[in-house]
Structure 1
Amino acid sequence: MNRRRLDFQSFDEVLTDVQNLYSLGYEKIGQWSLAENLEHLRRTMESATEPRSFGVPAPIRFLLRLVILPKILKGRRMKSGLQTASGLIPEADRPSSASMDDETERKRFVEAVNTFRNHQGEYLPNPAFGRISRSQWEQLQLVHCSHHLSFLVPK
């Protein structure tokens, strides 16, 4: 089974896809379940409105913003297998005995999307790219959602 080719143009499209994956079930192509993907996407989205303690050093952020961000936004794709900040990895701060469930993470993700969409003013600097425009933040989140949810195929 192959990954899906997704290119979300709106958060409504993202939420519809998440609901379909939750309702219909899914086949996992990658390493993470729906709950794990949604936790990762939620944490990333929250970093636009809630200060985080992780991020790359300023000189690297500058280079990433100059070279990588335009490629992501123009091509509307992210490469697989890139290292993720430890604060964004599912289970990074959860006891090994705790489990995640799709329903709980779906609800938390929907709340995060609504908070992100309804945020007034500029977003905080991006942990990887530094200060970027509101539009860039939004498009980056849509591409990021497309990337991760492409590893889950509805049944």
Structure 2
Amino acid sequence: MTPGRRTLDYPDFDAINAEVARLVEGCSTAGAWSLGQILHHLASVTSRVLAAPVDGPHDTSLRVPPERRDEVLATGRLPEGIPLPAGLGQPEDIDPREGARLLREALAAMAAAPGPLAPHRVFGHLDRDQWLRLVRVHCAHHLSFATPTGPEAAR
């Protein structure tokens, strides 16, 4: 695990939005990405889930067995180093406040999506609750690289 990361687990999207608001007030980051890049990535990937076709060709080259999926969902931990989805590339370093807005919008759209949703490129078919959990795990994974330093850090 990258030194300086925190252990996070979010019970819902409101908790993610509250954490992002704290981080926007000031934070340091471990790893290679700034807070703006982290937020841009999370918003982009969450939005892509909603835009992906449910039926049709899907890249299955990274698929893992259902037991691995279940472990990630149960522990809330993603391994470091999973390759970015094709076509996504390095996230743009945007203003963190803009990134927070984009992520809030993506999370709201995800929460409102009735399903079915496209299969995950690594974990395959997920039901709606599994998708919501995976989005929270994905956010916790990336936000764990940011540590609050602003006035809200003590919370």
Question: Normalising TM by the smaller chain, what interval?
Answer: 0.7 to 0.9
Structure 1 equivalent of residue 20 of structure 2 = 18
Please give the residue correspondences for 1:1-155 in structure 2 after superposition, counting only pairs within 5 Å.
2-23=4-25, 25-51=26-52, 56-57=59-60, 60-61=62-63, 64-91=64-91, 99-155=93-149
Output the TM-score relative to the length of structure 2.
0.82
Residues 6-43 of structure 1: CA distance to partner in whole angstroms, max 9, x if unpaired? 011110000000011002x1011111111111121112
Q: Distance in 2 between matches of 1:46 and 1:29?
A: 25
Residues 42-93 of structure 1: CA distance to partner in whole angstroms, max 9, x if unpaired? 12212321027995326x53xx1523211101111111122222433334xx
Q: Distance in 1 between matches of 2:66 and 2:107?
A: 27
- Tell me by how many angstroms 1:121 deviates: 3.1
Q: Distance in 2 between matches of 1:87 and 1:142?
A: 22
Output the TM-score relative to the length of structure 1.
0.82
Of stretches 116-125 and 7-16 in structure 1, the one that deviates more from structure 2 is 116-125
Change (3 A) 1:57 1:105: same
Number of aligned residue pairs: 145
Q: Counterpart amino acid of 1:18?
A: V
Partner SS for 2:87: helix
Partner SS for 1:48: helix
Identity of aligned residues (%): 29
Q: Counterpart amino acid of 2:146?
A: L
- Which structure's residues are more often helix, by fraction? 1
Q: Where has structure 1 moved over 4 Å in runs of 4 or more?
A: 52-55
Q: Distance in 1 between matches of 2:58 and 2:141?
A: 20
Change (3 A) 1:74 1:37: same
